[in-house]
Structure 1
Amino acid sequence: MKNNKYILMGRNYKRIITMVCLSVTLSAFSINTNKSIDPEKDKILLELLTFIIEKGHYNPAKIDDNFSKGIYKDYIAALDPSKRFFLQSDINEFSKFELELDDQLNNKDLTFFNLTYDRLMLRMEESKKIFKDILSKPFDYKIEEDFNVDYEKAPYAKNTTELKEKWRKKIKLSTLSSLTDKQKLEEDKKRKDPKYIVKSEDVLEKETRESSLKSLNEFFGLMDELKRDDWFTLYINSIMSQFDPHTSYFAPDDKERFDTSMSGKFEGIGAQLQKKNDYIEIIELISGGPAWRGKQLEKGDLLLKVAQSNGIAVDVIGMRLADVVKKIKGPKGSEVRLTVKKTDGTIQVISIIRDVVEIEETYVKSSVVEKNGLKYGVIYLPKFYLDFGNKDGRDAGKDVALEVDRLKKAGVKGIVLDVRDDGGGSLSTVVDIAGLFIEQGPIVQVKSASKKKEILYDTDKKIEWDGPLVIMVNEFSASASEILAAAIQDYKRGIIIGSKQTYGKGTVQRVIDLNPYGKNSAAGDLGALKTTIQKFYRINGGSTQLNGVSSDVVMPDSYAYLKMGERDEEHAMPWDKIDPAPYAVWKDNEKFDQVIINSKKRIEKNIQFQLIEEKAKWVDSRSNENTYSLNKDKFILAQNKIDSIAKKYKPIADYKNNLKFNSLPYELEGMAKDTILKEKRERWHESLSKDIYVEEALNVLDDLQVKSMAKNSLANEMKKRKLVKS
């Protein structure tokens, strides 16, 4: 399984509208400005995607009127999620195609897409005038009116007048919130310094409109950089999502980004960039990268020009961020010359030799902590990463094995493996990692579209760690994380603690390069398709699909009642089960039941956990409160009420567990040379020292260790008595 390209990850496709609102980095989603239209490429793409999915998907949906209705619903919602662009008349016109999209797909007909794309471009241009007009004059916060932010249930505007009113209220709510925050800050400054002259409400009101205008201009600036292909990708993914939540199309740049996320590396200079007005600003240097090693490029530098080796320097002021990124990235060993404006105003030309850049946050890390005189290890695994293009590259299986070995040498008596928020990754790495903790045996069962079952085994008899083990999960632990937790639970090898259940993704995807299929066409790079080809099952026969993995010890979670799992996704595959695989339960687990009981009792009595549970119920109740008053006095009254309740939960954020976490010796050596790594590890250790969940995981390890010590003490005592008698 080492060289397979099977992917187990939670839903990671982000809609374009969400993506453009985020900071873009060197390895991030790329946006193009080329406005050229190539309908033949679009048709080839549709034909390839439908052909491959129908042949390769685990359970392809029937392309019929219901399929068409699903495309229509998802696509329109993705184009205008807050219903601030389209009018009801537009929707009436679009709805004529609601039952025709399956036929258009089969016929490679782009009529519906072209209509919606052209209309959206028109409405966006109109919206620019609307918000600029609204923000040109002061708001009256004394009048009685409110605004409902439940956009899903809100109707579309009947006409332009109604649309302008919707925009006005939406912007007014934003500026009102900003105004009240600014006034609080002014009051705080006055309390600290009685001589401070507080800004008037008129001045603050004007500042909030200027700030809102700047934000909207930046947003529409990013939207303007999108080309037709980007919107067509959105349309395609509205089609793909009808098969299941994890089937999606990757445009060429998206595929590159996906590969980077899986391997944790790319070739470039190792700098994160963001747009700052017409300039591109350096916001961070990636530790260990060539820009960081060169020590010339700095955070806050503004890019003016980019040149390749001895080539002509190209002015990048006003250029799109994605285009600048493409000019800076390049193969290992090549040179790029950056003309930058330093923070002191000086201009410098900086030469950097590109290299492989590793994104440190992708990789596993570990820490040592002492509790009751014993050392324990905490391993954090953010992703089951694997470099598919390089068999000798880093992978999660090898790296976790290395960390376990290092922790053993450090003398730890128990290990916590933290896969909270781990959305998954490579199938082969999870088999390798689970195998570190058992002698040998099945780890997961896999069924393909042909319904044939395959059992994936750990065949290595060596046990890397046979001591006490805890796996930490939450509702965002998905796919590969769930396989690991399920296997450890079924073997009764360790104790699973965390949220009530994990995410609930029990499917396997494969990324298929589309270019070989379209090699005889002039369509250019066609990107790739990630499609669901298998379902996986626990060795006990049950599926993790929808149900996830239930924790042995459930810890209260502030977001426990919100709908965020696979079971809340449309088009999710159903739960089912198959026959179990033959496996032998771990023998040294006789104390597990009592340890679990002890943990549950601690949690029930713990005031902090009680507070977290209470907050979870409050957060859930707040999720249905969508109407806000736009009258300043009433808005402040409502916010004060919320703030007074929220203060009750402040101890959750302020909590400290009084445990000290430290890096292993090899990492301490690296931190002495790398201030960025040192800062990152210190932040991580600080977060661990405030983490009540990690504290309880260590309590569980302590219980297991104490029981083990008591058992050994009893054995020694019996041995002594026997010697005395003889």
Structure 2
Amino acid sequence: MKTKLRITLVALSTLLLVNSFQIQANTFEKTNSDPEKDKVLIYILRNILTRSHFVVKDMNDDFSEYVFEEFINGLDPNKRYFTQKDLKEFSKYKFQIDNQLLKEDVSFYNLVYSRFTEKIKNAKLYYGDLLASPFNYKKNETIDVDYDKVPFAKNENQLIDYWRKQMKLSTLIRIQDKIEKEKATKKKDKKYKIKTFAQLEKEARAEVLKNMDELYLRIEELEHEDWFSTFLNSVVGAFDPHTTYMAPRIKERFDQDMSGKLEGIGARLQKKGIYTHVFELVSGGPAWKQGDLEAGDIILEVAQGDKEPLDIVGMRLDDAIKFIKGKKGTEVRLTVKKKLDGSTKIISIIRDVVELEETFVKSSIVKKDGKKYAIIDLPKFYISFDDQNYRDSAKDMEKEIERLKSEGVSGLIIDLRNNGGGSLKTAIEISGLFIDKGPIVQIKYRGENPIVKKDIDPKIQWDGAVVVLVNEFSASASEIFAAAMQDYKRAVIIGGNQTYGKGTVQSVLPINQFTKYQKNLGALKMTIQKFYRINGGSTQIEGVYSDIAIPSRYSYMKFGERDLNGALIWDKVKQANYVQTNSYANFADVIFNSKQRISTDPKFKLINEYAKWLKENQDDTSYSLNFKKFTAEKKEQEKVSKKFKSVFDYKSNLEFISPKYEFSLFEKDPVLKDKRVAWHKNLSKDVYVSEALNVLSELKLKNKNEIVKN
């Protein structure tokens, strides 16, 4: 952390420690509430954010309105509880929350939360009555599941109708699944007697009722701290979407995740409201290998093998993880809502031990047109500042390149797809392996001039041709490396239209360091810096645009930093002093040739069509609640989806092999050999790798006396 920020935080800490902050405890209906602790939290968070967050933000009426809407939507994302009458009552505080926060006043929170607890009690009556008898499946009506677009109910009658439609949709989905299972059973056993629609409908309603009962049992188990955290995140989130408050239990889970204690399927999970989100997949883990689960997906249900699924909506994260974890070799079936198109999908994953080895640098060699090329997979910019013996991605990259040079490779592909970032230090050092020396990135603190971070080592580890392969999940440190390679014209960037666009840095601050208050207050993850390219532009929002954009399933989707509510803006600073390497004699020609191939390739045309279809599905959030129409819609979707069944089927004639140094490792570790064989097989079926190799093979280096150096 920079000196000035450290001084600011120390000063703030001193301010809070010496402050004679006395609070009168107010009574609140929940016995586990702690009004004193709540007010201490508001006081400290307010001071930290207004003094040290990257953005100077006034706590004014606009701020108040944001918190008002975020908190209400956080409690009631599906419009199940509050009516417009409730909102009218709440609205007396709509532009007063900023003033209340300045006085550690939680009147707004208390009003909304107390009303919310009343509504929770009513909800059990609503869904119980609605699920007691069959729905009218002949009625022509629809439901829109994009609840951001749906207004709050006008009154209690309309609210009950909202409930009816939601319960009816849940029942319809289960009926449809049951009908498919009945057909499959009949196909296997001709003597099997298929159940009637009435029987299946009754079973479906019973299952929905069971899931709802379990959901509300879990909701009732949530404590005041859980709901107050939702309010605090509405407050801190007004500064930017990456600034979050972590209650003590969540902070403990965060520390476990960061230390590498990963959950059975190899996924890091995050709680947002009542939903469990997939935050990140661990490279090489079971979920990553299976391929269907993606960051941003929401896990709705968990089943152990072929047993009945358990609804985990509303469940605490710790409890949800217990069901997702399991012994190696056992099956878990996750029912997820896909981030991509909002569809619901069941994903089967065989649990395994998550091998950290798979998160490290590895390479593969391939021959094309008589020349050797290599692809280096860099899943993360890893480092440990506490353990000097831990692997370091910069040192590993340097060593891997040296080994590949000894085998006579002519060019490198650096694969940064799905690389969510990591250490800034290693991103700078790895960039330095490909240039003489010079600026790599600029970082900026609040109210200060940007600091230029440089590679100061004149050694060039690799002076040959380089292609950097990215996608929409390449973020943070990945974008710094890709941007530097692009700005120096040292590499061709190929992949998705643009990378993720996360150009901010967060620091995790334990809140108790700012006060003598004895109870554990959790932590604040706060944005303190912003990244800028050496050309002056920020990587925030824009990310890095590929020199060669290849169609992908995400091409038309709302995805990335630019689609986050309240994301910091793109801006620019003064360009750093650097000189392009201009390493290639035919840079523009190679890019033109690749774009021509992509535009005429039937495979990429099909992928582009598929991406457009996914976008249509994402935008179409309405479902018919008439059984015949609901079934027809599903059949039509399945019919269209068959067209894209083979969209990513591809097989090149290329043979990928391990570098020679790994052969001796295989003798000691046959499992590692199997993993590499599987990886090489996937590379030969990767259409994006094939095009990256086409580009790499065409690049021609300038003579050394032609290259302009720093």
TM-score by length of 2: 0.77
CA contact (8 A) 1:3 1:391 kept: no
> Is 1:546 equivalent to 2:531 in the alignment?
no
Partner AA of 1:237 in structure 2: N
Give matches, 1:340-489, under 5 Å: 359=356, 362-409=359-406, 411-489=408-486
Q: How does 1:32-51 map to 2 (within 5 A)?
A: 36-51=32-47
Partner of 2:694: 699
**Deviations along 1:662-691, whole A, 9 cap, x unmatched?**
555666777777788677666655544443
**In the TM superposition, what whole-angstrom CA distance separates every residue of 1:496-515 from its partner, at most 9, and x where no partner exists?**
01122222232232222322
Cα distance per residue 1:386-433 (max 9 Å; x no partner):
334435433433343344344445554332222223332322121122
Give the aligned residue type for 2:224. Answer: R
RMSD: 4.0
Match of 1:648 in 2: 643
After TM superposition, give the deviation of residue 377 of structure 1 in Å: 3.0
Distance 1:417 1:219 in 2: 45
Match of 1:177, SS?
helix
CA drift of 1:323 comes to 7.8
Contact conserved, 2:283 with 2:379, CA < 8 A, in 1? Answer: no
- What is the alpha-carbon distance in structure 2 between the residues aligned to residue 508 and residue 554 of structure 1? 27
The aligned residue for residue 241 of structure 2 is: 245
Shift of the 195–671 alpha-carbon distance from structure 1 to 2, 3 Å rule, reads farther
- Distance in 1, Cα, partners of 2:606 & 2:264: 46
Alignment of 1:163-562 (within 5 A): 163-191=159-187, 194-265=190-261, 322=318, 359=356, 362-409=359-406, 411-518=408-515, 520-522=516-518, 524-562=519-557
Contact 1:470/1:697, CA 8 A, preserved across alignment: yes
Residue 628 of structure 2 aligns to a residue whose secondary structure is helix
Q: Which structure's relative contact order is higher, taking Cα pairs within 8 Å and 6+ residues apart?
A: 1
Instruction: Say which SS state the counterpart of residue 533 (structure 1) adopts.
Output: strand
**2:115 aligned residue:** 119
- The answer (yes or no) to whether the contact 1:507–1:534 under 8 Å persists in 2 is yes
- Please point out which of 553, 563, 567 is paired with 2:562: 567
SS at match of 2:422: strand
Q: 1:48 to 1:463 in 2, by over 3 A?
A: same
Aligned equivalent of 1:346: none
Between the aligned partners of 1:702 and 1:221, the Cα distance in structure 2 is: 61
Flag the 1:271–1:636 CA change in 2: closer, same or farther, 3 A. closer
Higher mean C-alpha deviation, range 400-409 or range 157-166: 400-409
Name the CA shift for 1:5/1:172 in 2 (closer, same or farther; >3 Å): farther
In structure 2, distance between residues paired with 1:526 and 1:402: 44
1-structure distance, mates of 2:371, 2:198: 61
CA contact (8 A) 2:79 2:152 kept: yes
Distance 1:474-1:193 versus aligned 2 partners, 3 A rule? same
* Letter of the structure 2 residue corresponding to residue 699 of structure 1: N
Unaligned runs of 5+ in 1: 7-33, 275-284, 289-298, 302-318, 330-337, 344-355, 713-726
Residue identity matched to 1:172: K
Cα shift at 1:449? 1.7
Pair 1:602 & 2:597 matched: yes
CA–CA distance in structure 1, aligned partners of residues 304 and 665 of structure 2: 25
AA aligned to 2:531 is: F
- The change in CA–CA distance for 1:286 and 1:535 in structure 2 (over 3 A counts) is closer
The answer to whether the 8 Å contact 1:68/1:99 transfers is: yes
Report what 1:28 is aligned to: none
The Cα offsets for residues 555-585 of structure 1, whole Å up to 9 and x where unpaired, read as 1122222222333333333322222222232
Matched, 1:592 2:572: no
1:62 matched to 2:62: no
Letter in 2 for 1:517: F
Using the TM superposition, give the Cα deviation of residue 550 of structure 1 relative to its aligned residue in structure 2, in angstroms: 1.1
Assess, with a 3 A threshold, how the Cα gap between structure 1 residues 287 and 559 changes in structure 2: closer, same or farther.
closer
CA distance in 2, matches of 1:163, 1:484: 51
DSSP 3-state at the match of 2:143: strand
List aligned pairs for 1:707-718, cutoff 5 A. 707=700
Contact 1:263/1:387, CA 8 A, preserved across alignment = no
Partner of 2:153: 157
Question: What is the rounded CA distance, in whole Å, between the counterparts of 2:255 and 2:536 in structure 1?
Answer: 32
Q: Distance in 1 between matches of 2:422 and 2:113?
A: 34
- Greater shift, 454-463 or 687-696, is seen at 687-696
3-state secondary structure, aligned to 1:67? helix
Amino acid at match of 1:449: R
Greater alpha carbon shift after TM alignment, 219-228 vs 478-487: 219-228
Q: 1:421 to 1:85 in 2, by over 3 A?
A: farther
CA distance in 1, matches of 2:662, 2:133: 57
1:486 Cα deviation from its structure 2 partner: 0.6
Paired with 2:427 and 2:661, the residues of 1 have a C-alpha distance of 25
Say if 1:357 and 1:591 are closer, same or farther in 2 by CA, change over 3 A: same
* CA drift at 1:35: 6.8
Secondary structure of the 1:55 match is helix
How far the C-alpha of 1:693 sits from its partner, in A, is 1.6
Separation of aligned partners in 2, 1:458 and 1:414: 22
Give the residue type in structure 2 aligned to 1:226.
L
Between 1:662-671 and 1:427-436, the stretch displaced more is: 662-671
Q: Distance in 2 between matches of 1:103 and 1:480?
A: 39
Question: What corresponds to 2:633 in structure 1?
Answer: 638
Percent of pairs identical after alignment? 48
- For 2:74, the aligned partner's letter is A
Give the superposition deviation at 1:102: 0.3
* 1:4-43 alignment, distance < 5 Å: 36-43=32-39
Task: Specify whether residues 72 and 585 from structure 1 end up closer, same or farther in structure 2 by C-alpha distance, changes over 3 A only.
Answer: same
Equivalent position SS for 1:154? coil
After superposition, the C-alpha distances for 1:160-213 in whole angstroms (9 at most, x for unaligned) are 443232222112222323322332343345456645543433333334334434
Q: 1:249 to 1:198 in 2, by over 3 A?
A: same
Q: Does structure 1 retain, via aligned residues, the 8 Å contact 2:283–2:358? A: no
Distance of aligned partners of 1:427 and 1:126 in 2 relative to their CA distance in 1, 3 Å threshold: same
Separation of aligned partners in 1, 2:420 and 2:689:
19
CA deviation profile, 1:83-139 (whole Å, cap 9, x unmatched) = 112233322222221111101111111122222223323322332343344334333
Which of 214-223 and 604-613 deviates more?
Answer: 214-223
- Deviation of residue 536 (structure 1)? 1.9
- Aligned letter for 2:686? D
Cα contact 2:505–2:528 (8 A) shared by 1: yes
Give the gaps of 5 or more residues in structure 2: 7-29, 270-281, 286-302, 306-314, 331-352, 705-710
State whether residues 479 and 507 of structure 1, in contact with CA within 8 Å, keep that contact through their aligned partners in structure 2. yes
Q: 1:629, CA displacement in angstroms?
A: 1.2
| 1:103 counterpart residue number | 99
Question: CA separation of 1:631/1:497 partners in 2, compared to 1, >3 Å: closer, same or farther?
Answer: same
TM-score by length of 1: 0.76
Q: CA deviation at 1:269?
A: 11
